[in-house]
Structure 1
Amino acid sequence: MKKKHRKLPRNTDYAAYRHPRWWPTWALIGLMWLGAQLPIRWQWPLGRAAGWLAWKFAHERRRITEINIRLCFPERSEREQAALVRRSFLANGIGLMELGIAWFRDPAKLTGITRVHGIEHYRQALAEGKGVLLLGAHYSTLDLGGSLVTEYIEADVMQRDHNNPLMNAVMTRARERRYGTVLGARDLRGLFRCLRQGRTVWYATDQDYGRKDIVFAPFFGIPAGTITATSRIAERSGCRVVPFSHFRHPDRPGYDIYFHPALENFPSGDDLADATRINRIIEQEIRKAPDQYLWMHRRFKTRPNRNDPGFYGRKAKKRRRR
């Protein structure tokens, strides 16, 4: 019988993690801190090296990435798809180094190499006074991009807690220094409270969350389980939904942040039409830098019909020891 692991409550007090069971995590956090102190021109090569190692040895994540790339870019040759898979791992390796910057350093030092596009769209939406839902996605610049955004605007954030309670404590405390409020992924009451106050909340909808409250909207031409909560939130709060994205320059240290016009006639009253519209926007942003998206996630795990064959099959079995 499979043993169920009890999920520990969120606790951001470091004193709660003195037990030796947490020492390996502390060691990893220490390495992240050390890496964050390096100049960015050194961090990127180290990140690429970490990404290459993951590409070489993280077989299951590589398999998932290969399947996603094959599904989403069928127009590319097998060689081009394989190259994109490899570049995706390298980009996410850099993202791991950037995570250290976001958690342990002041991202304000990077504003000199950051360009912001379309911030007037955000300001116009915020001026309406009903709050702004900042519609993001899971790019490899996730934490650093979010931290950089707060150098230009004030925002709160919704997060899914990390499975490791100590890592979650470090992540939450880091985000509390950057964002006004750090909300749990299911804290809708807190979300509506922030929006009623005319605040901005960072929010992402681009992962597979199961069958609850979803429609199957096309994402790169594939029916993908997409939550309808975005429409419900906008309908109930009257907030404006502003898409945004963030990418690193491909060939030199630097970042771009994009704000887009607030969605008009949203919600439309048609959940499928709304979800399709959102997925199309996210897809357009991903195409700017497809290697910088988190393709390791099983985005198409939930199928329209329960009996439909899955894209990912069973997880690769561990090799038996000889």
Structure 2
Amino acid sequence: MTDTRNDYDPTAYNPEFGRHYLAPKHWGTWLAILLGIPLALSPNRFRVWIAKKAATYLVKKRRGSIYKAWYNLSICFPEKSDAERNAILHRCLTIAGAYLLGFASLSLRSRRWFQRNSVIHGIENLTQYTDNDEKVILLVPHTWAIDIGAILLASHGLPVVGFTNAQRNPLLDYLMHRQRVQYGGRIYDRSAGIKAFIKAIRQGYLGYYLPDQDHGPDNSVFVDFFATTKATLPGLGKLKKLCRAHVVPITSTYNIETGQYEVRILPAVTDIPSGDETQDARRMNQYIEEMLADDPAQYMWILKLFKTQPDGKDPYIGH
């Protein structure tokens, strides 16, 4: 794509700022933003210290999001002891806290700061295609720093297209959206359907494909995921064909030791499509497993990853 591209699409998700965001009902959000700015600009070590304290408290709880994370870890890693799973959960919550406390810095700091505090490993696995104007779909697992890959690539002139679900708080939703597209790119509401996504990829945008959430029984097949079975989207092979694109796995993580954002781009997928959508879905899950193998705590284990079950029972209900 060129620097003269026009990212605006009237059918895309384009929330706009309005005077109603200054109404009293939003004052609490503005106060939280003002209080959060010093934290976002504070040293990584301080944010990690706060996050560790919070994680120590939260990990003792087994309800709500913490229960979901514990349940997910227990069925994905049955070979690990409670102490080992507890350590993953504690590190997961620490990464989440430190990253989220500094999340606003992506808007408060400059492009130069962002790029200097980010590391891209394996960029050649992507540019070998983009340099030749070949289409690419990025296979992206739900790590805590999931937005980083899209924003960082856009800052280097490689904008992405993705989907979003609007946040309940419209003011925060507006601010998050502006941050996500500050260097370019397009975001569509999920209700827009897949056609707009495919069209943008064909126009040269990198498709930000996040297939690891539970999309219900009607849209999924049941295949292995770690040591259990998960309802999984089966359409990656078909999407690859429709877009005439390469599928490139990518992970975005936050290094709490260095305070840097790290993006890892792996060699393109070559065994999808195989001609069997169920087999493709399983292979896609294997790619996600491989991307998380070195540091599973980077993953959003709090998601309802296994809500859809063959027997129709939701394992998260009542917790």
Whether the aligned pair in 2 keeps the contact of 1:137 and 1:282 (CA below 8 Å) is yes
**Corresponding residue for residue 132 of structure 1:** 136
In 2: Cα distance, 1:47 partner to 1:177 partner: 27
Is the counterpart of residue 170 in structure 1 residue 181 in structure 2?
no
Over 3 Å counting, the alpha-carbon distance change for 1:150 and 1:52 in structure 2 is: farther
Work out the number of aligned pairs and report it.
305
Whether the aligned pair in 2 keeps the contact of 1:223 and 1:304 (CA below 8 Å) is no
In 1: Cα distance, 2:254 partner to 2:62 partner: 24
Whether the aligned pair in 1 keeps the contact of 2:231 and 2:306 (CA below 8 Å) is yes
**Corresponding residue for residue 118 of structure 1:** 122
Amino acid at match of 1:177: Q
In 1: Cα distance, 2:205 partner to 2:149 partner: 19
Amino acid at match of 1:71: I
**Corresponding residue for residue 5 of structure 1:** none
**Corresponding residue for residue 254 of structure 1:** 260
Over 3 Å counting, the alpha-carbon distance change for 1:189 and 1:34 in structure 2 is: farther
Amino acid at match of 1:126: T
Q: How far has the Cα of 1:303 moved from its partner? A: 0.7
Over 3 Å counting, the alpha-carbon distance change for 1:260 and 1:45 in structure 2 is: same
**Corresponding residue for residue 268 of structure 1:** 274
**Corresponding residue for residue 219 of structure 1:** 225
SS of the counterpart of 1:178? Answer: coil
CA deviations 1:145-202 (Å, max 9, x no partner) are 4333334451223222222222111111111213322222343232122111122122
Over 3 Å counting, the alpha-carbon distance change for 1:315 and 1:33 in structure 2 is: farther
Whether the aligned pair in 2 keeps the contact of 1:156 and 1:202 (CA below 8 Å) is yes
Q: How far has the Cα of 1:273 moved from its partner? A: 1.2
Is the counterpart of residue 315 in structure 1 residue 312 in structure 2?
no
Over 3 Å counting, the alpha-carbon distance change for 1:250 and 1:75 in structure 2 is: farther
Amino acid at match of 1:134: L
Amino acid at match of 1:156: V
Over 3 Å counting, the alpha-carbon distance change for 1:82 and 1:146 in structure 2 is: same
**Corresponding residue for residue 32 of structure 1:** 36
In 1: Cα distance, 2:203 partner to 2:21 partner: 35
SS of the counterpart of 1:225? Answer: strand
More displaced, 172-181 or 51-60? 51-60
Amino acid at match of 2:253: F
Which of 93, 104, 116 matches 2:97? 93
Gaps of 5+ in 1: 1-8, 317-322
User: What TM-score results when the alignment is normalised by the length of structure 2?
Assistant: 0.86
**Corresponding residue for residue 188 of structure 2:** 183
Is the counterpart of residue 73 in structure 1 residue 77 in structure 2?
yes
Amino acid at match of 1:97: L
Over 3 Å counting, the alpha-carbon distance change for 1:249 and 1:18 in structure 2 is: closer
In 2: Cα distance, 1:50 partner to 1:147 partner: 28
Is the counterpart of residue 82 in structure 1 residue 72 in structure 2?
no
In 1: Cα distance, 2:51 partner to 2:74 partner: 25
**Corresponding residue for residue 22 of structure 1:** 26
More displaced, 280-289 or 12-21? 12-21
Amino acid at match of 1:252: T
**Corresponding residue for residue 207 of structure 2:** 201
CA root-mean-square deviation: 2.4
Over 3 Å counting, the alpha-carbon distance change for 1:176 and 1:256 in structure 2 is: closer
In 2: Cα distance, 1:233 partner to 1:239 partner: 8
Gaps of 5+ in 2: 1-12
Whether the aligned pair in 2 keeps the contact of 1:107 and 1:147 (CA below 8 Å) is no
CA deviations 1:279-299 (Å, max 9, x no partner) are 111111112111111001110
